[in-house]
Structure 1
C-alpha cells in the first residue's frame, strides 16, 4: 500500500455506539426475515442492495435463512444438469443407433420410409410404388385425354438416387427432435431417355395442338348460319416432358401445360356477317352477257360465298370465283369464241401453215369484282360480263418462224391386224400436224388424252402376261414404236420411253416403245421426247391399211445412224396353260439381252456423241390350251 495512507491499529477505535431504532412496519409485499435475539447494537432496516428486509426479534414463524436458499439453488442446478446429461446421452444414443438409416419423417410419393435402413426403404418403395409404374401414364390437356407407356417414353425409376435425395442423418438436435412430429416429402428420381420422351410428347402435341376456329358463316343451300368460334391450344412440349418426369410416379392424371390461342373474330363481326349472308341469298344475281345472260341462284350464291378474318377482328365477305364460274360459265359458253392454234398441214407432200385464230372469253376476275356489293342490294342485282381476247398458243407468225421446212426423221412399220389398224388410224389423225416448239416436250398420252370407245378406239389384240388378249386401243404401241423411231432418227432428245417386256419381231430390237393408260385416261407408260433444237418441229403421219409412216419436219442438223448390238443371255420359254375359254395357243419365244447405239453426227459426218441403250427381253411363254370339251 502507499506509505501516506495509515491504517488504524484497532477497529475498536472506529466503532460508534448508535441508539436503538425501532424499525418501521414492512410495506405491502415487502419480504422480511425475522432474526431472533439480534446482537446488541445491531442495525435493523433495509439493506442498501434491496435485499429482503431483515427483521430482528422473535418471529411468529421461522423464515428461510440466506444459507438455506443458496443450498436450494444448488440442488436445483444439480437436478437440471442431471436432466441435460441424460438428454445428451439419449441424443448420442439416437445418433449412433440411426446411422445409415433414412432420416425420420421422410416420405417418397406418399410412402413413409423415414427411420428405415436404405435396403428396407427401397424394398418398401418397390412394393408400394413399382406396381403403378408399369401402368400407362394418364395425360390431360383441356378436354383431351390420352396415355403414354412409361417404357416407350423412356421413363425408368432410379431407386438409389431417390433415397439419396433424403440426405444424411441431421446433427442439429432441434431438427432431430422435430422429426418425431413432422414429415418431409423428397423427390422421386427418374432415369430419362430424353429422345424417347421428346418423341412421345411430340405425338401428344400432334393430337393436342389445334388452331383456333374463327367464328364464320356456313350455308346449307341458301340458308346461312353461324359457326361459333373456338379457342386454339398449343402444348409446351419441353415443360410437359419436365412435368411428366417429375410426377409420373404418383399414378394420377397429369394436367399438361397448354397455352390457349383465342379466336380473332369478334362476336359482333360474326353477327354482321350473318346479316350480309342473308342479304346475299335473298334473290338471284344476273350476269349480262353478249347475247345471253347467266343467273346465279341463291343456292349457287351460298355455295360460292365465303367469309375470312380481317384486321381488328372483322369478318370479310368474298366469293370463290371458281365456283361462280362453274355455275355461270356454261350459261355464257355460247357467247365465247374458241381460239385455234396455228397448225401445219401437209398438202402436196409439203408442210404449210394454217393460220391461227384468237379466241374471245369472259374475263371473270373483272366481271365478278362488284359481286359482293351487288349481292347486298335489295334490287338491281346485275353484273355486266366483260370479255377479253385469248391469243392462240401457237400464232401464225410463230408457226412461220419455226423453221419447219424439211424432213429430219422418218420411220414406217406394217403388218397390223384390221382392228389394230383402226386404232392406229385414229391416233395418227390426232397427232398429224402437231407442233413442238423449241424446248418443249411432246407426250403421246398427254397429247391424245383418253383413248377409249368414246374417242373412236376399238377392241384389238394385245399381249397380256405373255399371252394373247384383247382390249380397247390395242395396236397403239405400234404407232408409238413408229413415232419413237422417227424422233430417234431426227436426233431429238429422249425424254422417257419403255420397251415391250417381250420381243416383237416386226420391231427393231432395243429400238421400240409401248404405251399404256388406265381406263380413266391417266398415264401409266408414256412416250416422250424433247425438242432440243433451236427450231420447231411438226409431226406428219401417213396411214394406210397395211402400214403407218411418221415423218418429223424441221431444220436438219444431224445425221443419225443405228448400230444394233448382239443378242446374249438367251432364256428358254416356259410352258404356261392358257385360259379355259378363248385360248390362243402359241409356241412362245426365247428371251435375250441386246443393245442399240445411236450415233449422232454433224452434217459433215463428224461424230458428236454415241448413246447406247441396253434392253433385256423376257421369254414369251409357250401357251397350251385345254382340249375342247
Structure 2
C-alpha cells in the first residue's frame, strides 16, 4: 500500500524542494501517463508542487532548479494532459488553414480561365466551363429561342413581342465576356461552391425598330383609369366600380427586354398604377341621391296647347356623370333630351320664314316673311336636374320666344331688286349631268345676297349627295373622263360665274378647269368640288359690293341652263379675250381598265381675258380686270384593247 502524500498546510511549508520521485508513492496521479507520453518515460522531469495552483509541475517550470515560481502558470490554463488550453485549437486552425490553402491552390490551377462556378446565362448553366465550351452550350440552348415570340405580362395585360420585328439580336462575345473568369479572391472562390449567379444576355437592338416596338407595347399595355361612374341599362341606374389604370415603366421595361428576351421565360414588365379620383363611396352617394331618383318616373313638359313626356329611358339617354375633383357631376345632353320630347311639342312651335324673291311673269316679286315662335330650350331645361331628384311634381314648363325672319318682307322690298344686272346661258349637257344641274338650279333659285354679303355655291347647297337628289354623272379625273355623284355641276358653276361676271360683281374666288372644255368661253369658266362628306375643296363665290340687294334666278331646260342676277344695274360689262399663246401638244396616256374611251386629246395653251367695266349711266370706263389662264393639254387616251389592235 502506497503511503499518502503529505500536502503542505501553509505557504511557509513550500520552501523545501520536493525530492525526485523515482517510484510512484501515494495515490496514483491521473496525469502521470500523459506526462510520460509527452516527456518520455526515461526523461520525465522532476516534479515540483505549486501551492498557488495546488498542482505538480515539471522541475524548472518556475524559473530553474531552485528558482521561485512566477505568480501564475507560465503557459496559461492547461488541459487534462497538462498542455496550455490555447494550443490545441491553434493546431486545428493551422491544419484547416493549410488545407484551405492547398484547396485554393489546386482549384486555381485546374479552373484558371474558366467561367466562374454557379453562373447561368439566360437560364443556361455555364459555370465551370471554358469560354469555348460555354459558347457552344449557349448557342445550342439559346439560338432556337431567338426567333420565337417573347411572352410577357405587364400588370393586367399579357402578350407577345416579336424579337425580329423589334430589331433584337444577341451579341455572343459580349454575353460571354460579362460572365468573366474565375475570381482570384479566395473567399469569393470558396463562396462560389455555395452560391449561384444568373446573368442575362447582351443585346444589339436596331434603334428605330426597337423604339417602334416599345411604342406598340405602350399602346397595348397603358390603360387609362376607369373612374367610378353610373351607367344606365334599361332605364335602371347601375354603379360602375372605379378601376386603376396602368402605365408601362419605359426605361425599366427596356432593360428587362434587352437583358432577358432570350431566356425562354415569360417576362414581367414593370408598370406604374394610375390612380382614380372618384371612390366607390362617391359613386354610391350619387347613385342614391341623383341617378335612382332620376329613373323613378317620367317628366312632363308643358307646352302652349300640348304637352310632351320624357320617359325614364329618354332621360337616361340624356343624363350622364362626369368625374371632377373627386366627385361625380351630373350633366344634361340637351340634344338628346330635346329629341325625346320635341316631336310631341312640334305643333306648338312656328318656324320662321324669310322673305324670298319669286319670279312671276318674268319679273321678281317678294314673297312675305313669317316670324317664328320657338321653344327656348336652354331656359326650359334649366331646372331639369332639380326636377329629376324629386319623387313628385316632376314637371317643366316650356319657355317660348319669337324669332323674326332673317330677311323680312320690308327688307326684301327695300333691296332694290328690280332689273336684270347680269345673265348667261350654257347648253349641251348629258342627261345625267342635266339631272344634277336641275337639282342645284332649284336650290339656288330665289337666293338673296344682301349688300356686302358673299354668296358661296358650296355653302349654299351643302353636301351634294344621293340623299339630296344628285346622281352619278360625268367628271374629269386625272385628265381622263370618269363618273361621280354630282357630276356636271361645273357647267352650272360656269354659268353662274359668267352671270355675276357681267353683273360687275366682285369675284370672291373661283378656279378654272385644268384643261379647256370647248363648250365654255376661254378664260371665263369655273369648276367646283367637294369631299364625300360635303366639305368644300374648290368653291365658287362672289361678293355683292353694291348698295342694293341681288337675287339669283335660274331657268333649266333639258338642254340648257340660264342664270340671271337681279338688282339695280350699275355697270355695262364687256369681255375681251386675247389670242392663245404657248401651245403644248397632247401626250398619250393609258386609259382606265374599265369603260375606257379613247380620245385624240387637245393641245394646252395660255389665254388672257380682260373684263372692261363701264358706268351704266355715263358709259365711262370704271376699271379693267385681267386674268390669265394656263390650260394643260388634254391627254390622248389610249385604251389597252386599242394598243393590241395597233
| TM-score where L is the length of structure 2 | 0.70
What count of residue pairs does the alignment treat as equivalent?
579
- The counterpart of 1:335, out of the listed 348, 365, 374, is 348
1:222 to 2:235 alignment? yes
1:360 to 2:373 alignment? yes
1:614 to 2:592 alignment? no
- The counterpart of 1:277, out of the listed 280, 287, 291, is 291
SS in structure 2 at match of 1:225 = strand
Distance 1:332 1:565, change over 3 A: farther
Distance 1:137 1:50, change over 3 A: farther
Deviation at 1:306, TM superposition (A): 2.0
Quote the residue 1:538 is aligned against: 550
Quote the residue 1:125 is aligned against: 138
Please tell me whether the aligned partners of residues 441 and 528 of structure 1 are also in contact (alpha carbons under 8 angstroms): no
Deviations 1:414-450 (A, max 9, x none): 5679998897677545424423457755333442457
Distance 1:401 1:113 in 2: 100
Question: What does 1:175-194 correspond to in 2, within 5 Å?
Answer: 175-194=188-207
- The counterpart of 2:604, out of the listed 585, 593, 597, is 593
- The counterpart of 2:564, out of the listed 539, 546, 550, is 550
Distance 1:178 1:607, change over 3 A: same
Deviation at 1:204, TM superposition (A): 1.3
RMSD value, Cα: 5.5
Deviation at 1:91, TM superposition (A): 5.1
Please tell me whether the aligned partners of residues 175 and 202 of structure 2 are also in contact (alpha carbons under 8 angstroms): yes
Question: What does 1:146-185 correspond to in 2, within 5 Å?
Answer: 146-185=159-198
Please tell me whether the aligned partners of residues 540 and 553 of structure 1 are also in contact (alpha carbons under 8 angstroms): no
Distance 1:472 1:119 in 2: 73
SS in structure 1 at match of 2:517 = coil
Please tell me whether the aligned partners of residues 121 and 198 of structure 2 are also in contact (alpha carbons under 8 angstroms): yes
1:236 to 2:252 alignment? no
Please tell me whether the aligned partners of residues 46 and 52 of structure 1 are also in contact (alpha carbons under 8 angstroms): yes
Distance 1:433 1:622 in 2: 45
Deviation at 1:367, TM superposition (A): 0.4
Greater mean deviation of Cα atoms: 427-436 or 159-168: 427-436
Quote the residue 2:316 is aligned against: 302
- The counterpart of 2:57, out of the listed 50, 53, 56, is 53
SS in structure 1 at match of 2:265 = coil
Distance 1:468 1:166 in 2: 72
Please tell me whether the aligned partners of residues 135 and 149 of structure 1 are also in contact (alpha carbons under 8 angstroms): yes
Distance 1:425 1:574, change over 3 A: same
Question: What does 1:313-328 correspond to in 2, within 5 Å?
Answer: 313=327, 315-328=328-341
Distance 1:346 1:171 in 2: 109
Question: What does 1:403-442 correspond to in 2, within 5 Å?
Answer: 409-414=422-427, 427-428=440-441, 430-436=443-449, 441-442=454-455
Please tell me whether the aligned partners of residues 592 and 618 of structure 1 are also in contact (alpha carbons under 8 angstroms): yes
Quote the residue 2:300 is aligned against: 286
Distance 1:240 1:556, change over 3 A: farther
Deviation at 1:206, TM superposition (A): 0.9
1:484 to 2:497 alignment? yes
SS in structure 2 at match of 1:115 = coil
Distance 1:521 1:169 in 2: 73
Q: Which runs of 5+ in 2 are unaligned?
A: 1-14, 61-81, 615-619, 640-646
Please tell me whether the aligned partners of residues 514 and 631 of structure 2 are also in contact (alpha carbons under 8 angstroms): no
Deviation at 1:51, TM superposition (A): 9.9
Quote the residue 2:148 is aligned against: 135
SS in structure 1 at match of 2:227 = coil
Distance 1:498 1:390, change over 3 A: farther
Please tell me whether the aligned partners of residues 573 and 591 of structure 1 are also in contact (alpha carbons under 8 angstroms): no
Distance 1:241 1:283 in 2: 56
SS in structure 2 at match of 1:413 = strand
Q: Which runs of 5+ in 1 are unaligned?
A: 1-17, 57-68, 581-585, 624-629
Quote the residue 1:259 is aligned against: 272
